[in-house]
Structure 1
Amino acid sequence: MPEGTKIADVDDVPESGSYRFTATDAFTNETEVILVRCEENPGIEAWRNTCTHESQRFDRGDGAAIRDGEIVCPRHGSMFDACSGACDNGPAAGTELPGVAVAVESGSVFLTDDNYAFLHAGGADDGPGSTSHISL
């Protein structure tokens, strides 16, 4: 097992789309991260869930738009390579998505980035939720 926290099973990451989770940085700031499929090893990449152009979220709860192996910004259409994070078109041309280190082993994805700690699945606004079935 790699050093790190299990985020999800590989099967949880859609072939076209993304798996969103929330992590905290060293200052306890919540940061949304997306997992996307990539044809290069390890087969899954993790990127901060924000376009480099105007801080637009790629995945707002229904998965990021992926076209021909590129993550599409829903606001201006800039496209980022799902494997490298590089953008060569639109308003974000010449930038790269900030990556988050993950490892894939035995069908699971682990957060291995020392700059982040896994908080919960879903977006920052989703929160871990209540496990109680009692309503008042």
Structure 2
Amino acid sequence: MSDETRIVDLEAVPENGSYRFTAEDPFTNETELILVRCAEEPGVRAWSNTCPHESQRLDTGDGAAMRDDAIVCPRHGSHFDACSGACEDGPAAGTTLPGVELAVEDGTVHLADDRYTFLHEGGVDDDEPGSTSHLSL
């Protein structure tokens, strides 16, 4: 894989929490995405950083809240499975987080989704891009 698709080293993705980054679609729209650990190969998943229920950011800069291998929406408490993105409880029940294709090679996470180009660590509106921390419940 090339350096252009590199997001971060796998070891930098927190065990409990998320790693937030910004990517660009073909129309130059910037989108926030999050990496979370998953028990299934390749050990990490990428999801849109937005709850489908009310467009609430899941990671507002301190890492997404996690409970029992699920991402927790900070607004209404819906739980999204870290591996499938599916929600079975709360106001977002029956929805699924939009996923993004990844590849892990030699301990490095790469963006493998043709719909996006990696821009930088951190969120869209961050003054100085950087990784997010490890908030958990």
Number of the residue aligned with 2:37: 37
- For the structure 1 residues 23 and 127, does the alpha-carbon distance in structure 2 shift closer, same or farther, using more than 3 Å as the test? farther
* Residues in 2 aligned to 1:12 and 1:35: alpha-carbon distance in whole angstroms: 10
Number of the residue aligned with 1:81: 81
* Post-superposition CA distance 1:38-74 (Å, at most 9, x none): 0000100000000010000010110000100000000
TM-score normalized with structure 1 length: 0.91
Number of the residue aligned with 2:54: 54
* Residues in 2 aligned to 1:39 and 1:77: alpha-carbon distance in whole angstroms: 22
Number of the residue aligned with 1:118: 118
* Residues in 2 aligned to 1:34 and 1:117: alpha-carbon distance in whole angstroms: 14
Indicate if the aligned counterparts of 1:79 and 1:89 stay in contact, CA closer than 8 A: yes
Number of the residue aligned with 1:132: none
Number of the residue aligned with 2:132: none
Aligned length in residues: 129
- Taking only the aligned residue pairs, the percentage that are identical comes to 69
Structure 1 residue 26: Cα displacement:
1.1
* Residues in 1 aligned to 2:125 and 2:5: alpha-carbon distance in whole angstroms: 21
* Post-superposition CA distance 1:3-53 (Å, at most 9, x none): 960000001100000000000111111100000000000100000000010
Indicate if the aligned counterparts of 2:4 and 2:118 stay in contact, CA closer than 8 A: no
* Residues in 2 aligned to 1:2 and 1:111: alpha-carbon distance in whole angstroms: 10
Moved over 6 A (4+): none
TM-score normalized with structure 2 length: 0.90
- SS of 2:11's partner is helix
Larger radius of gyration: 1
Unaligned runs of 5+ in 1: 130-136
Q: Which moved more, 1:118-127 or 1:77-86?
A: 118-127
